[in-house]
Structure 1
Amino acid sequence: MLGIRSSLTLIPKLPARQIGLVNVPLKSLTLKNCIHTKNIDVRIRPIINNLLLKRTFMSTNVKHPRWDNRIFYADSSDRYTRLNRFQQFNNNGNKEEDNSVRNVTVVGLASMVGIYFGSQYLFDYVPIFSYFKTHPKSFVYALLGTNLAIYGLWQLPRCWSFMQRYMLLQKSRIPSYWSIVGSAFSHQEFWHLGMNMLALWSFGTSIATMLGTSNFFSLYMNSAIAGSLFSLWYPRIARMAMMGPSLGASGALFGVLGCFSYLVPHAQILLFVFPIPGGAWIAFLGSVAWNAAGCVLRWGSFDYAAHLGGSAIGVLYGWYISKQVEKRRQERFERETRWLR
């Protein structure tokens, strides 16, 4: 079971004026070809006069001063409404902070270094976390609960402005540095949450027991941050005109999968109930090929760049941990055979 990162979907032929993409009278324009990838990449191609809407649908100037219960209680079959109902409260007139991708990258890399060197101290000396040092599976369950709680907050209309700022990774405007972490714990749809949490439970409990809680925490968080950074840089490197926001734990989960597959390459992996031939490492390489093809061909609605970012960190952790294990094994062998020399 592999984790995925969800993207927001626009319904074909949905009138542009209805969803607030433009604030000028448009009588005949429709949004027809709406293409997105993982962290919610959206490109819009209008039909008439070759007009290009150069804003992401998250960056509208339309203001909604009060709650519209009709949107909250709208028909659940309307996927656009179900996924994006919180956007009615987006208000760019408040001059919110807009952090550059470069600054976010610096903060993200610094956070990764701090997490790597500080995680051991965190689980050794901080009372709230010290319990999990001897209960690694409980820490995985705590992560499951955290994701579930944040999913619950998405169901509360009064939380949407907070969630949009801190729990959603936007590409064109980054109001908070925390979004590179918060988006990795955020899910809007139950199927998305369920699939990712099943993957976390399947691989997380095993790898957390193998590595220890502090190492697992470092792996999980740094994979999540790397996934967000890859997701931010990909549209700029690929020169994609329209990119929407993204969310989901898949960057962190692909990091967990990458580390697990590197350390236990022949472990049996099941896709639902079907075994994948070749073991964990072959399955992981297949996922990397799929994500790389998704980045190049831009198919589907997944944030393939975030998947690749998390995968890279997972393999790096697996390589480093294997080297440390081999080094300790060699030192122990030399101590035990020293008397024979």
Structure 2
Amino acid sequence: MLFPLRDVIPSRTTPVVTWVLVGSNVLLHLWLWLGPGSADTRDAIFATWGVIPAAFSWVTAVTSMFLHADLLHLGSNMVCLWIFGDNVEDQMGHGRFLAFYLLCGIVAALAETWAIPESLLPMVGASGAIAGVMGAYFVMFPGSRVLVLLFLVVYVGVIEVPAVFFLAFWFLMQVLGGLARTSEVAATGGGAFWAHAAGFIAGAIGARLLRRKDRAEWEWREPGRPV
């Protein structure tokens, strides 16, 4: 298992949108879980504002991106958004990045609806949108590296790997997870693998279309690497 900790590329601009997205997700999650509401209240909010494939709504395709099932779900998503979002936002500009983020999330919701069209379980989380950010990073920064926490049966450590390796490995795991998921498992919840894969592909395509040309001319290079 690989868990990302940080990348090696400094952002040249202040990633305002990334910060706002992370902050809004964290604050809403704290309100839902530490506020006066009960578990039944949270379930009702998820059912109302999460994506239900059997009753798809364009509104919930957006609102679901700001709801998370638990702290681990929130934390893993926000870490990835924090690591990869600032550089993608830097390359697109603030407005384009926000539109891109939301669009990737909508594409992800549509993909999961296609995969399990009869499901009545609400789907929540920003994973699809963040998968889009990761797909864009894959295209924009092929020479970058990522510091990851490596979990093996007999070893736990921190290593640095090429970003394209980490992101390609992550994408492959989503595709394999989607192929392995049975209809019975899908009916009881679990990872939204096809949402993640679709978001990643949408992000890779969007990176080509939305990257600002004046910023695309700047290419990050590893220190010491010849020009």
TM-score range, shorter chain: 0.7 to 0.9
Runs (5+) with no aligned partner, structure 2: 5-11, 150-157, 218-227
Name the structure 1 match of 2:29: 151
Name the structure 2 match of 1:75: none
Three-state SS of the structure 1 residue aligned to 2:143 is: coil
- Residues 171-206 of structure 1 show CA distances to partners (whole Å, capped at 9, x for unaligned) of 2234x5321111111112111111111111111122
Q: Is 2:190 the counterpart of 1:309?
A: no
* Compared CA separation, residues 242 and 313, structure 1 to 2 (3 A): closer
- 1:186-201 aligned at under 5 Å gives the runs 186-201=67-82
Name the structure 1 match of 2:108: 227
TM-score (norm 2): 0.72
Name the structure 2 match of 1:182: 63
Three-state SS of the structure 2 residue aligned to 1:178 is: helix
Name the structure 1 match of 2:99: 218
Runs (5+) with no aligned partner, structure 1: 3-133, 330-341
Three-state SS of the structure 1 residue aligned to 2:15 is: helix
Deviation at 1:164, TM superposition (A): 2.4
- 1:13-32 aligned at under 5 Å gives the runs none
Between Structure 1 and Structure 2, how many residues are aligned? 188
Bigger share in helix: 2
Greater Cα shift, 262-271 or 153-162: 153-162
Q: Is 2:165 the counterpart of 1:282?
A: yes
Query: Residue 297 of structure 1 aligns to which amino acid in structure 2?
Result: A
Q: Distance in 1 between matches of 2:78 and 2:94?
A: 18
* Compared CA separation, residues 280 and 321, structure 1 to 2 (3 A): farther
Name the structure 1 match of 2:175: 292
Query: Residue 245 of structure 1 aligns to which amino acid in structure 2?
Result: P
Conserved? CA contact 1:207–1:256, under 8 Å: yes
| % identical aligned pairs | 22
- 1:101-180 aligned at under 5 Å gives the runs 136-155=14-33, 156-157=37-38, 159-160=41-42, 161-166=44-49, 168-174=50-56, 176-180=57-61
Conserved? CA contact 1:227–1:309, under 8 Å: yes
Three-state SS of the structure 2 residue aligned to 1:247 is: coil
Structure with higher Rg: it is 1
Three-state SS of the structure 1 residue aligned to 2:142 is: coil
TM-score (norm 1): 0.50
- The root-mean-square deviation of aligned C-alpha atoms, in Å, is 2.7
Query: Residue 208 of structure 2: which of 294, 311, 319 is its match?
Result: 319
Conserved? CA contact 1:136–1:212, under 8 Å: no
Conserved? CA contact 1:254–1:311, under 8 Å: yes
Query: Residue 244 of structure 1: which of 92, 100, 121 is its match?
Result: 121
Three-state SS of the structure 1 residue aligned to 2:58 is: coil
Name the structure 2 match of 1:122: none
Conserved? CA contact 2:96–2:210, under 8 Å: no
**RCO (CA 8 Å, sep 6+): is it higher in 1 or 2?**
2
